[in-house]
Amino acid sequence: MDKGSIQKMYRFYEIFSDFNRIRILNCIAEKEKTLEEIADEINLKQPVVLSQLDYLSSYKIVKQEVYENKIIFKIEDKTILKIISQISKEKGKKR
C-alpha cells in the first residue's frame, strides 16, 4: 500500500477517535436532523456539535442541506453507515 493510501486510511479511522463524533454519527445514521435536534438528543451544547459537524463535513462524511428554511445534517459517506451498522451487530453478539 502506498503512503497516500495509508494517509487516507488513517484520516478515515481518525474520525472514530472522538467520542462525540461517534455519538453525532450515530444520531444522524437513521435520519437527517437539525443542529438543535442533534444537540438535544445527545445532550451537548450546539457549538460543540457544530464544531464536530464542521470537522465531519471537511472530510465529506456529513453534509448539510437547507430544507424548509432549516439546515439539516445527514451522512454523505454511506461507508460510515455500513461501519456503524457492523459495529452495532458485533456489539450485540458479545452480550
pLDDT value for 82: 85
Across the strands, what pairs with 34? Answer: 72
User: Are the C-beta atoms of 55 and 21 separated by less than 8 Å?
Assistant: yes
**At residue 47, what is the residue type?**
P
pLDDT value for 90: 67
pLDDT value for 79: 85
- Structural domains present in the chain: 3-93 (1.10.10.10)
Return the number of other C-beta atoms located less than 10 Å from residue 42's C-beta.
Answer: 14
Q: Which residues of the chain have pLDDT under 50?
A: none
Reported as a single tens digit per residue, the pLDDT across 74-93 is 999 888 888 878 877 766 66
